Structure 1
Amino acid sequence: MKEKVIYISDYTMEIRKLIGSNPLILTGSTVLVFNDSNMLLLQHRSDTEEWGLPGGAVEPGEKLEQTAARELFEETGLRADNFKFIDILSGEELYFKYPNGDEVYNVISIYQALDTYGELTIGDGESINLKYFAIDKLPINIDERAKLIIEKYLL
């Protein structure tokens, strides 16, 4: 009998059944994407209605760079030939409480997508909009995690 494959959404839901909304430590990847004009791609999130960076949680058995590639495609429709590893962030400043009350402490692996291609496409239900911004003209309502990354590495 073939064993059922559990994806992160199922995996997280199973854990949430056991612990409720109490904090989880979630590992994931975030992707910095720049266009030819050196403008940064941001995602207007549907859950918080804030602007953030593309990214998400690691699926069981997945490598961090694979997560970056998968999330980039799922959330933006873009692909990249290469990814440059930037850093890993963790700690209290990466605590996040979702609108539904679920709490997480993120461990975020940051990558820059290089040699991107494809068309920007909203297809996963997590985005309201995708837009490139000049670093000196970012929107006001940026997700705290994205703001931390932008301030640390781009400003």
Structure 2
Amino acid sequence: MRRDNFTVDIDSEPDDDGTPTISIDYDGPSGTLRERLTTTTDGTLDADEIDVTFRRQAGADSGVLSLTNRLTGEFILEVVADTEAMQALVSAAERHDDDGEFEVRLTDSGGKSLVYEKRTLLVYDHDGSLLRQRSLIPGGVEL
């Protein structure tokens, strides 16, 4: 899957004190996204089986938002996202919930959506160093 098959909308100020949300729409070949979100044994990946990361790009106002399968390390998707919008989401998630809860909503080309409630979002600089103060890391989690 190519990055240009995805569009991202980051809602850091949801209505009625809702959960900050990263909405990712996929318009590529039918079924491809679902295949990457399906395990061979139990069906669709659960929220605790998916990692969300954001890697800033040097000299740019954007970076790469990635979702990976935590159990296998396999790539699920990458999409270009605005750095400022990602930081606004992190701040809003921290205000919404002490542990920084946010949602990732994935919608495939058939219009079917999956929603994952997440508490961890790791932000890296362009060299791959973790930016702890700009990340969502729940209390008690040691990296």
Q: How does the TM-score come out when normalised to structure 1?
A: 0.31
Q: Which has the larger radius of gyration?
A: 1
